[in-house]
Amino acid sequence: MSVFYEQFNRHSHGEGLKGHSTHYCPGCGHGLVHRDLAEAIDGLGIQDRTVLISPVGCAVFAHYYFDVGNSQAAHGRAPAVALGHKLANPEAVVISYQGDGDLASIGLAETISIAQMGLPLTVIFVNNAIYGMTGGQLAPTSLMGQRTATSPEGRGREMGRPLKMAELIAQLDGPVYVERVALYDAKQRVKARKAIRKALQFQVEGRGYAFVEVLAECPTHLKLSPPETEEWVKTQMEPVFPLGVKKDLTVDPWFKRGAPSFEPEAVLGLSGADPLGEQRPATPWPPHLHANDIAIKLAGAGGDGAQTAALLLTRAAIAEGYDATHIPSYGPESRGGTSYADVHIAEGEVLNPAAPEPHVLLAFNAPSLAKFAPQVAEGGVILYDSTIVKDPTGLPPGRRIIPIPFTQIAADLGRPMVKNIVALGAMQAVVNVLPAGSILDTLHQVLKDKPALLPLNDSAFAAGQQAAEALHATA
Amino acid sequence: MSNATSARPKPFLQPEYCKGCLRCIEACPRDCITPGDEINPLTGLRPVALHLDNCNGCSLCIQACPEPYGLRRQAARPCVGDDFELEDPAKLFGERQVANHSAGDVPDTFVPLPACDPMILKGTYAAAIGALLAGCRHVFGYPITPSTEGAELMAKILPKLNGSFVQAVSEVAAVNMMYGAGGAGVPCLTFTSSPGFSLMLEGISYMIGAEVPGVFINIMRGGPGLGNIGPEQADIKLACRGLGHGNTHALVLAPSTPQEMLELTREAFELSFLYRNPVVILGDGYLGQMTGIVKLPATLRRPGLPAWAVWGDRAHRHNLICSIALEETDLEQRNRHLNIKYAEISAHEQRSDLYRCEDAEMLVVACNTPARMAKGAVEAARAHGVKAGLFRPITLWPFPIDALLPVLPTVRQLIVVEASPGQLEDEMRLALSHAGIAPPPIDHVRRFGGLLPQQSEILAKILNYQEVLS
Ligand code: SF4
Ligand code: SF4
Ligand code: SF4
């Protein structure tokens, strides 16, 4: 058994020589990095835990060779794919194997963000200073003056300078181990092998993210022989990309995760589901506003509590056995501006949850009243806060207009914030859609973790009711 | 390691596996290797020649050879890690936290859920809870209004269930995390909205190509470009016809109530694994924010692990998640395989909801929230004595043509209602055309830019045709 397949069946179906030869050009550095990686996997005894992510680039077919779990990623996204694997199975040893175009160009955002996250992953970065697969174009790591297919006169200043990834990654707080190595002679190859093994070990032991940059040879696109390319890496590349350990922290193993929980109680509890309680005895549908579907619009300024009141109504209606919906206005318009809510309560099913022609409007300020009052259905009810809106004009005829000083009443109770509950009480007294007990029960249910607030809210509701009844009596 | 020179085996080379790169020559301190002068007839390359009289078995040449089956130690497996002692894995790694599945295929199980009060949830929350009940413990996303609240709820809950919520650096990263987690065989999800969905399309194409499951909830907003955050339905085209490059399709589900947000999300995971394909749920901004009654299902799914997963264990070691197929015949084969899958989905997964269609002469076609306005309009039209009905596709791809055709004989006018410039209508027309059916006349009610068709507009259209036709 070896970490390399006995036959490369994915390479042209393993036919002929391809069953035992790589697709790499003669002298390509990738083969040596593969060898080091295979040795490290073998040496650590992790073949049955390893997932290798192959990139787009010359190493796109790494899965031809490694007898481990394999996934092939889109260009530049190998670290994201690796992270997905790591979180799916934290016991897996996941390796993101990438070239310079993949890691340092198109995938830079993934490279940096996932390095910074610092979860135990191993990134092997094969830097050969040129695009291989697409045919020798400028890489982010190409040297100044280097001639490539897309820098025919040599890399100039306007193309930017070569990107030093190992240094960049090392200065992030996430990684625990970063080293740059090379393959150009026996000594460097020994160091490379050790670095790759160490980078895997950091992951195996749950210590953190490790990054090894390997200066590798691409004889084909440098248009040099393999030995000449080794020399080029040594004399041209190394001065720009200094070898050595860039970061090596002593970190205790920390990454451990239990198996995900599928316990019904835990899931339901966290979702906020309550055990089946008693149904309220059904009350007959109040047909005075509509035969089977009442639309209510609540509108005010951002902090008026229109949405909270709307949700309370919706909950109360559902507890009552009706269907009900609530749609808030949202987004920038609700930040400080008008905030309005459409509520429907239906005996059967709410067909249309929008309320373009509400039966009831509860308006907390002048703009809301001006905007929505004309939309209220014939025979509908308009309640508004007469503390805030003085002598409104242009209210439509044929609707019941109920001015109640919500804010004043709430202020008299010591908490202007409860004006929305005052309003609900008033609305209850006037339109009587749901039994008062139903709304109060819901209020108590919602405030069950804040019992201190209950008396205030009860008084606010009652005060709203009384104010509306008093108005009714004098009218 | 032994340092007895004579005991160290010398290298050997099968000439056809040598690429003649010469890297080994420099590596040998004893000049045992020379460039070959003959071209190997099998490879057309010049393998090196070994003269091992002086060789001390130092293996430096082997370590310089990039080919796994190039220079090897005699009678040895390729690539031996001779510098390292094998360590006892148990000592090194401690106890395993995650079950090491011995069987390749672990089936899902369903755990009964205790009865609960109906919940009162907004659409995005309902979808999140549907996903939790489907066994999803991995959510990857990027904040975007108006879908973010679903992700926020997951960020709160998942860590407490030993799951993961990751806020990725972008939607591009998020979809690729799904490619990873889905490829490992776990159910995963993202919440996004139109611009974010656009960014994910490339990744979805890869997922379809590599047959990776995953659920995408796109709460559609106003476009094109940055548009606004109001509700729209103008991603129907993307979801049904434009899932990235290449030959792609995915089931596209269109809920219209918070209850359906839960149910369809839950079901989406099963369908996604059944077909090994992504599933897209299209909602609109209104539905995402709409609060309504949601009843919970009777069971919770505890996901197993499919045989094809790249889990990172022995039972799944031979697996590969991959969308590249270099040889044309291989790729054609894969496309044929996908086409068979698409045909199966088309045959078995069409879903729709028919409301008062039995005798409908005016048939309104609508999905998502506009279908609710349409339902209100149908009801109002019936009150006017008009035989109106609503055909609501729940799957937009495949379009539920099999349920539409039997309704058509009584229909005198089709009216497609949508918050898009005809993308739903195009799906319907295409399905009718493939079915070889000449449909009744088709008209529409369309709104854009964050506005939805209103019940009054739909009703007016219905009543207008009633007048014209009678
Ligand atoms: S093009 Fe360069 S990097 Fe790619 S296989 Fe050939 S030598 Fe290696
Ligand atoms: S084993 Fe050492 S001495 Fe023998 S051929 Fe290889 S490099 Fe030369
Ligand atoms: S290093 Fe390997 S492939 Fe290259 S010439 Fe030597 S034996 Fe052949």
In a domain, B100, yes or no: no
pLDDT of residue A291: 79
Residue B224 burial (CB < 10 Å; 0-12/13-18/19+)?
exposed
Q: Indicate whether B95 belongs to any domain.
A: no
Residues of B within 8 A of A226 (CB-CB) are 21-23
- Ligand 1 centre to CA of B38 (Å) is 24
Which of B60, B84, B168 comes nearest A43 by C-beta?
A: B84
Q: Count the domains in chain B.
A: 3
- Which residues, 6 or more positions from B460, have their beta carbon under 8 angstroms from its beta carbon? none
Helix and strand element counts for chain A (H, E): 16, 13
Looking at the structure, tell me whether residues B210 and B252 fall in a common domain.
yes
- Which CATH number fits the domain that encloses residue B28? 3.30.70.3270
List CB contacts (< 8 A) between A352 and chain B.
372-373, 375-377, 455
Does the Cβ of B221 fall within 6 Å of ligand 3?
no
CATH number of the domain encompassing residue B323: 3.40.50.970
End-to-end alpha carbon distance in chain B: 99
Closest CA to A169 of A219, A209, A129: A209
B186: its two tokens: 């776990």
> Of B39, B40, B93, which to mutate for an interface test with A (greatest number of A Cβ within 10 Å)?
B93
B432: domain CATH number is 3.40.50.920
b/e code B29-53 from CB counts within 10 Å (16+ = b): eeebbeebeeebeebebbbbbbeee
Interface with A, mutate which of B212, B310, B454 (most A CBs under 10 A): B310
| CB-ligand 3 contact for B32 (6 Å cutoff) | no
C-alpha B221 – ligand 1 centre gap (Å): 45
pLDDT for the residue A249: 97
Q: Please check whether residue B96 lies inside any domain of the structure.
A: no
B245 burial via Cβ count (<10 Å: 0-12, 13-18, 19+)? exposed
Question: Which domains are present in chain A?
Answer: 12-248 (3.40.50.970), 264-474 (3.40.920.10)
CB-CB neighbors (< 8 A) of A448 in chain B: none
Closest CA to B450 of B201, B224, B127: B224
- Could you tell me if residue B122 is inside a domain? yes
Q: What is the pLDDT of residues B302-347, one digit of tens each?
A: 999 999 999 999 999 999 999 999 999 999 999 999 999 999 999 9
Q: For residue range B73-124, what is the model confidence (pLDDT) as tens digits?
A: 876 544 444 444 444 444 555 554 445 556 679 999 999 999 998 999 999 9
Is the pLDDT at B369 greater than 50? The verdict is yes
Let me know whether B295 and B282 are in one domain: yes
Using the predicted structure, report yes or no on whether residue A331 has a pLDDT greater than 60.
Answer: no
Q: Are the beta carbons of A373 and A393 closer than 8 angstroms?
A: no
Residue A329 has a pLDDT of: 78
Collapsed DSSP state (helix, strand, coil) of residue A301:
strand
Question: What one-character DSSP code corresponds to residue B449?
Answer: T
Q: How far is the CA of B38 from the centre of ligand 3 (A)?
A: 14
What is the rounded average pLDDT for all residues in chain A? Answer: 93
The answer to whether the CB atoms of A354 and B184 lie below 8 A apart is: no
Q: What is the token pair recorded at B79?
A: 């690539």
- Give yes or no for B456 touching A (CB within 8 A): yes
If phi > 0 it is left, if psi is from -120 to 50 it is alpha, else beta; for residue B331 that is: alpha
Query: For residues A80-106, b (16+ Cβ closer than 10 Å) or e, as one string?
Result: bbbbbbbbbbbbbbbbbbbbbbbbbbb
Which residues have any ligand 2 atom within 6 Å of their CB?
Answer: B 10-11, 27-28, 30, 32-33, 55-61
Whether residue B20 is found in the same domain as residue B146: no
pLDDT at res. A244: 98
* Domain-located, residue B438: yes
Question: Does pLDDT of A383 surpass 50?
Answer: yes
Atom of ligand 1 nearest to the CA of A29: 8
pLDDT at A475 over 70: no
Boundary of a domain, candidates B331, B348, B365: B348
Alpha carbon nearest to ligand 1 atom 7, residue = A218
Provide, rounded to the nearest whole percent, the portion of chain A with pLDDT above 90.
Answer: 82
Give me the mean pLDDT over the A324-339 stretch: 69
How many residues can be counted in chain B?
Answer: 470
pTM score: 0.94
Q: Please give the distance, rounded to the nearest whole angstrom, from the Cα atom of residue B231 to the centre of ligand 2.
A: 72
**pLDDT band per the 50, 70, 90 thresholds, residue A141:** very high
Token pair for B204: 């979805």
Q: Do residue B416 and residue B306 come from a single domain?
A: no
- Cα gap A154→A136, rounded to integer Å: 13
Average pLDDT, chain B: 92
- Does a structural domain hold residue B103? no
Dist. CA A279–CA A268, nearest whole Å: 20
Instruction: Mean pLDDT check: name the lowest of B33-47, B93-107, B366-380.
Output: B93-107
Are B76 and B155 members of one domain? no
Lowest mean pLDDT among A300-304, B360-364, B424-428: A300-304
Confidence of residue A337 (pLDDT cuts 50, 70, 90): low
User: Reduced to 3 states, what is the DSSP secondary structure of residue A73?
Assistant: coil
Asked whether residue B321 falls in the same domain as residue B410, the answer is no
Phi, psi of B120, deg, nearest 5 = -120, 105
Pair B338, B202 in one domain: yes
Nearest-ligand number for the alpha carbon of B14? 3
Shared domain for B238 and B324, answered yes or no, is yes
Nearest by CB to residue B161, choosing from A266, A274, A327, is A266
> Residue B162: exposed, middle, or buried by beta-carbon count in 10 A (0-12, 13-18, 19+)?
middle
Report yes or no: B135 at the A interface, CB cutoff 8 Å: yes
- The contacts of residue B130 (CB under 8 Å, 6+ apart) are B261, B262, B263, B264, B265, B266
Q: Which ligand is nearest to the CA of B69?
A: 3
Residue-number span of the structural domain to which B429 is assigned: 352-469
Reference B286, options B252, B265, B258; nearest CA is B258
Q: Could you tell me which residue, B72 or B79, shows the higher pLDDT?
A: B72
In a shared domain, residues B198 and B292: yes
- Compare all CA atoms of chain B with the CA of A446 and give the residue at the minimum distance: B120
* pLDDT reported for residue B131: 98
B232 alpha carbon, distance to own chain's centre: 22
pLDDT score at B98: 47
Buried b (16+ CB within 10 A) or exposed e, B124-151: bbbbbbbbbbbbbbbbbbbebbbbbbbb
Q: Tell which of B327, B348, B369 closes a domain.
A: B348
Give the residue from chain B lying closest to A113, CA to CA: B169
Do residues B337 and B294 both lie within one domain?
yes
Mutate to test the interface with A, among B71, B79, B294 (most CBs of A within 10 A): B79
B138–A87: do the CB atoms touch at under 8 Å?
Answer: yes
Q: Name the token pair of B239.
A: 């979801």
Tell which of B59, B77, B176 to mutate to test the A interface (max A CBs under 10 Å): B176
Q: Does B84 touch chain A (CB under 8 A)?
A: yes
pLDDT of the residue at A274: 86
How far is it, in rounded angstroms, from Cα A428 to Cα A463? 11
Give the per-residue pLDDT at A394.
86
The Å distance, Cα B324 to ligand 3 centre, comes to: 29
Considering only CB atoms, which chain B residues are within 8 Å of A325?
A: 290-292
- Residue contact B67–A31, C-beta within 8 A: yes
User: Is the bond into B146 cis (omega within 30 degrees of 0)?
Assistant: yes
Share of chain B above pLDDT 90, in %: 88
Cβ pairs bridging A and B (under 8 Å): 372
**Residue B54 forms part of a structural domain:** yes
CB within 8 Å: A330 and B289: yes
Over range B243-249, report the average pLDDT: 98
**Residue B421: is its pLDDT beyond 90?**
yes
Which residue puts its alpha carbon closest to atom 6 of ligand 1?
Answer: A25
Contacts of residue B21 in chain A, CB cutoff 8 Å?
26-28, 219, 226
> Which is nearest to A57 in space by CA: A134, A5, A115, A112?
A134
What's the rounded Cα separation, in Å, for the pair B221 and B228?
7
Q: Name, in order, each residue with C-beta under 8 angstroms of B392's C-beta and a sequence gap of 6 or more.
A: B256, B352, B353, B354, B355, B365, B366, B367, B371, B374, B375
B188 in the same domain as B276: yes
- Residue B164's H or E segment, with its range, is strand B164-167
CA distance A150 to A134: 11
Residue B394 in any domain: the answer is yes
If asked whether residues B294 and B338 sit together in one domain, one would say yes
Compute the average pLDDT of residues B413-441. Answer: 97
Q: Which of B320, B348, B376 is the C-terminal boundary of a domain?
A: B348
The stretch A61-89 carries a mean pLDDT of 97
